[in-house]
Structure 1
Amino acid sequence: MLKSHDYTDAVLPTGIDLLDDVFTEILAEKGLCRDCEAAELIARRLFSLYQSGHRETKMLRDLAVGD
């Protein structure tokens, strides 16, 4: 019998959409391109925040940028 596994760190498509929207918004505000080092740091922060339970756009944006 196969066992069911819960992947609590999994980011579902709706989460990816939210993170992409916030990420794109931050990059536009800061004038950054997607493949720069600063953008990578922001993306890492966003995923970490999301996996910590943050789901509100403004909170994600504010915490990821750290301004």
Structure 2
Amino acid sequence: MLRHYEQADTILPDGINLLDEVFTEILTDKGLPRDCEAAARIATALFSIYLSGVRERDRLRQMVEVG
């Protein structure tokens, strides 16, 4: 059986999908377009939090909204 492990500095397709879904949810909740400065800050924070090891949707949202 083949196993794959996501490295700390790698984001696989499932991770990209999760980040996009969380990003879209946050922008919708805040009424922000994707192409504004606030959205760029949110995206940067999401990637940083994800790369630190957080993979749970609710936790990602919490950490971005607190930060």
TM-score range, shorter chain: 0.7 to 0.9
The match for 1:49 is 49
Normalising to structure 2: TM-score of the pair?
0.86
When Rg is computed on C-alpha atoms for both structures, the one with the higher figure is 1
Runs (5+) with no aligned partner, structure 2? 1-6
Q: CA RMSD in A?
A: 1.3
| Whole-angstrom distance in 2 between the partners of 1:23 and 1:37 | 14
Q: In structure 2, what is the Cα distance between the partners aligned to 1:8 and 1:49?
A: 11
The answer to whether the aligner puts 1:19 opposite 2:4 as a matched pair is no
How many correspondences in the alignment?
A: 61
Opposite residue 30 of structure 1, the aligned amino acid is K
1:4-43 residue pairs with structure 2 within 5 A?
Answer: 8-43=8-43
Moved over 3 A (4+): none
